[in-house]
Amino acid sequence: MVLGREGGTYRVLIAGIERIAILRGKAKRDENERAVAGDRVLLDQATLTEDMVGITGIEPRKSILERRVQGGRGTRPVAANVDQVVVVIAAASPDPIPHLLDRLLVVAEANDIPPIVVVNKVDLASADGIHAHLSLAGYPVLETSTRAATGISALQARLVDRESVFTGPSGAGKSSLLNAIEPELGLRVGAISAKAGRGRHTTVTATLIPLAEGGFVVDTPGFSEVGVWAIEPGALDQCFPEFSAALGECKYGDCMHRGEPGCAVRELAEADAALQPRYASYLSILNELEGLPQEWE
Ligand SMILES: Nc1nc2c(ncn2[C@@H]2O[C@H](COP(=O)(O)OP(=O)(O)OP(=O)(O)O)[C@@H](O)[C@H]2O)c(=O)[nH]1
Ligand SMILES: [Mg+2]
Ligand SMILES: [Zn+2]
């Protein structure tokens, strides 16, 4: 299991022990076959006794989280085999922005990685608004407070034996939650970490942190900046689970669910007030996607 990469070397976990590894042979020649955090790799047995273990190949990935290369030339893998995205938002301080939450959920959906939502800081305000916003989407919504020490074990149970990427707005309490779950981590808490992190996003790859109970968390602060860019506009509707009953029911097969006649998605949204903010997020992300140069251009 690859925990992370620093330049040309990898930190890998072999039978519970962390070792340094480098690519060898075919794995080294094939530039596209770069291993990333979360990859299961094949090792050269003969190198197990050496200082640097040889990686000879990468096992097929069950999922891959990708980020756009700066300047828009293709994508680059960030983390492999991610099982779930944990979207952390605060009930207050900073106040939740439903549209930002929806963007993060869309990024997870577009990468085919199931998300869960954690509403932290419930000691400051109620999570009812978030529950209402997501009532029809069907995502698990947990409530936590690191201050009041509530909901931590329920979140911890969700992380066991899985690889989870934490994402969410700065100040929501991601590092605080991880520290509450795994006190040995000693992650930096406070607004400063975001600023320091932002500048490094382009160069630092994701790092997997092993959890004592089994499982890994990924501490890339950049996931929220992976952005919605890689999504084909016509596939955005599939990133909103509550639209599913209406998909395929529109009058036009290529309906984008804006104002087209006979649009089943729009009818669904107009019939149910609970769906309207999510539909508004859909429209806003759609406009954004169509304003950006596409991958095939
Ligand atoms: N009231 C309250 N404050 C909290 C809670 N959890 C974290 N905080 C505070 O919120 C602030 C931000 O917490 P962090 O854990 O650094 O937030 P983060 O999501 O990691 O932020 P970035 O690293 O900037 O993305 C800190 O001052 C924490 O002490 C909570 O449950 N309740
Ligand atoms: Mg943090
Ligand atoms: Zn439609």
Tens digit of pLDDT at every position of the chain (297 positions): 999 988 889 999 999 899 999 998 777 777 666 888 999 999 999 999 999 999 999 999 998 887 666 555 667 778 899 999 999 999 999 999 999 999 999 988 988 999 999 999 999 999 999 999 999 999 999 999 999 999 999 999 999 999 999 988 888 999 899 999 988 877 777 644 444 444 333 335 678 989 999 999 986 654 555 555 668 899 999 999 999 999 999 999 999 999 899 999 999 999 999 999 999 999 999 998 888 654 544
**pLDDT confidence of residue 33:** 66
Closest CA to 219 of 19, 79, 106, 120: 79
Atom of ligand 1 nearest to the CA of 190: 16
With b for 16 or more beta-carbon neighbours within 10 A and e for fewer, the 256-265 pattern comes to bbeeeeebbb
Please identify, by atom number, the ligand 1 atom nearest to the C-alpha of residue 120. Answer: 31
Distance separating alpha carbons of residues 171 and 12, to the nearest angstrom = 31
**Of residues 68, 43, 63, 66, the one with CA closest to residue 53:** 43
In sequence order, what E strands does the chain have? 2-6, 9-14, 17-23, 41-43, 52-58, 64-68, 75-80, 84-90, 115-120, 141-143, 163-167, 208-210, 216-218
Q: List pocket residues of ligand 1, CB cut-off 6 Å.
A: 120-121, 123-124, 145-147, 168, 170-176, 189-191, 193-194, 221
Q: Which residues contact 168 (CB under 8 A, 6 or more apart)?
A: 86, 87, 88, 89, 104, 118, 174, 224
Point out the ligand nearest to the CA of residue 223: 1
**Atom 14 of ligand 1, nearest CA residue:** 173
| Predicted pLDDT of residue 289 | 86
Q: List b or e across 53-76, with b for residues whose CB sees 16 or more CB atoms inside 10 angstroms.
A: bbbbbbeebebbbbbbeeeeeebe
Please report, for residues 36, 57, 76, 77, 280, the alpha-carbon distance to residue 33 in angstroms, rounded to integers and kept in the order given. Answer: 9, 8, 11, 10, 39
**What is the structure's pLDDT at 64?**
86
Contacts of 145 (CB under 8 A, 6+ apart): 120, 121, 122, 123, 151
Give the pLDDT of residue 111: 86
Tokens of 206: 């994701």
User: Residue 36: which H helix or E strand, with range?
Assistant: none
How far apart CA 239 and CA 254 sit, in angstroms, is 16
